[in-house]
Amino acid sequence: MADNAHRVLVVGGGPAGLSCAYELVRAGLRPLVLERTQAVGDVWRNHYDGLRLNTGRWFSGLPGGRFPWAAGRWPSRDDLARVLASLPARGGFEVLTGCDVESVGYLQAQSMWQVRCRDGREWRAPALVVATGTSCVPSIPQWPGAQRFAGQIVHAAHFGNARAYAGKHVVVVGSGNSSCEIASRLVPHAASVTLSVRRAPHFLPKSLFGVPLAALGTLIRRLPPRASDAVLSWLSRRWVGDLSAYGLPPPAQGVSGLGSVTPTLFMPVIDDLKQRRIKVVGPLLELNEQGALAHTGIDRTERCTLRMDVIVAGTGYTTGLEALIQYPEALTADGKPTVDDDGQSSVARGLFFIGYRNPLSGQLREIGLQAPGVARAVKDYLDATQLAPCTGSAKVSL
């Protein structure tokens, strides 16, 4: 099978990949986007029911894809899916769906990147943009005894609808936005809801007097970590208060110590905690046929037995880049790309990344800011290399 050659390929058809492709067209290139799902927008369309953007309409727009007024202040997952689905036509680029990329390698002799999908199809390009995102591979802990647990273990990415868990005893693991929202949505339907927490989260209001917290995030990110932590801690005390009596003591470290993890902005969970509709326990230690052994609290001084039918693991994701990128030292020890300000790899020629930053001001906004710079860097790289047209049966999309 002959390779398909292009000047630039984009791996990942979510917000980052589509935004970058839109800007690449504006820079005079014709990218091909490879997306593993069956339809553009599925990456968001398949999230759990009721999901809305915490960053608000004003701070969630993408290049070429602004939200309509009808989406309201807090666009839904379906609103975002519709925006994503419209981007290829608006931008004038092609997205090949149903292409699950399994490896990315570099052909040294040809100075080309080779992308291989699980169905055997291959593409080549001198410039490659990786935009598979920070939430690519759902991560579920390997709890001792999990093979004996008679109930269901589901990752938050596949949670679906809370009504499907009616009458069940559910333990939600994690304290991030997804875990807290899922726990609250389960309250009207489940027989009981327990939140298993490894460390106390930073709770912050989604908006301040009608203004999304993301707006404050654009200012706070310019402050030194100690100053930003002081501001955010004051906001948390002012809007949330002390939750120690409900199993969640104040966090041991500031927001700046969270890295790429964002504070928890889903405020309805606070009322559920205070009304004892959600019980808080510490980490799960071991599963058995009917439940689990867990710490009674975050302090991990005592243990308790939990009866449960379902575990919902809001335990995050991995980038999956270690298995994808076949190039030495292209990633850090924790699997993140090593890049400059414009997303260009520090060690690999022609390799670019976008969508791996998640500041308090919002990941979608960050993607919108980053996409033009990445597109310019790709164009500059291709212009500088002065690549000759490919020969043979392969054709280069200019």
Q: Measure the CA–CA gap between 170 and 292, rounded to whole angstroms.
A: 12
Long-range contacts of residues 326-330, Cβ cutoff 8 Å, at least 24 apart = 326/103, 326/104, 326/105, 326/106, 327/104, 327/105, 327/106, 327/351
Per-residue pLDDT tens digits for 329-350:
999 888 889 999 899 999 999 9
- pLDDT for 259 equals 59
Selected residue with higher pLDDT from 113 and 228: 113
**Binning pLDDT at 50, 70 and 90, where does residue 258 land?**
low
Contact partners, residue 275, CB within 8 Å, separation at least 6: none
Contacts of 229 (CB under 8 A, 6+ apart): 254, 255, 256
When the pLDDT of each residue in the chain is averaged and rounded to a whole number, the result is 90
The DSSP bridge pattern shows strands 192-196 and 279-281 to be: parallel
* Token representation of residue 30: 């014709």
Burial classification of residue 259, based on how many CB atoms lie within 10 Å of its CB (0-12 exposed, 13-18 middle, 19 or more buried): exposed
- Burial degree of 232 (CB within 10 A; 0-12, 13-18, 19+): buried
Domains of the chain: 4-136+319-397 (3.50.50.60), 140-313 (3.50.50.60)
Helix (H, G, I), strand (E, B) or coil at 205: coil
Give the separation between CA 270 and CA 203, rounded to whole angstroms. 9
Question: For residue range 89-144, what is the model confidence (pLDDT) as tens digits?
Answer: 999 999 999 999 999 999 999 999 999 999 999 999 999 999 999 888 999 999 99
Across 127-131, 174-178, 216-220, 251-255, the highest mean pLDDT is recorded for 127-131
- Outline where 57-160 has alpha helix (H): 77-91
Whole-angstrom distance, CA of residue 295 vs CA of residue 288: 15
Tell me what the mean pLDDT of segment 250-266 comes to.
Answer: 75
Average the pLDDT over 145-156 and give the result: 96
What is the CA angle 16-72-216, rounded to 5?
A: 65
Question: Residues 283, 300: contact at Cβ < 8 Å?
Answer: yes
The more confidently predicted of residues 220 and 29 is 29
User: What percent of the chain is modeled with pLDDT above 70?
Assistant: 94
Q: What is the pLDDT, as a whole number, of residue 261?
A: 65
pLDDT at 132: 96
Q: Which of 142-146, 158-162, 360-364 has the lowest mean pLDDT?
A: 360-364
Give the dihedral of Cα atoms 157, 339, 99, 393; nearest 10 deg.
Answer: 180
pLDDT at 398: 41
Q: Which tokens sit at 274? A: 């205070």
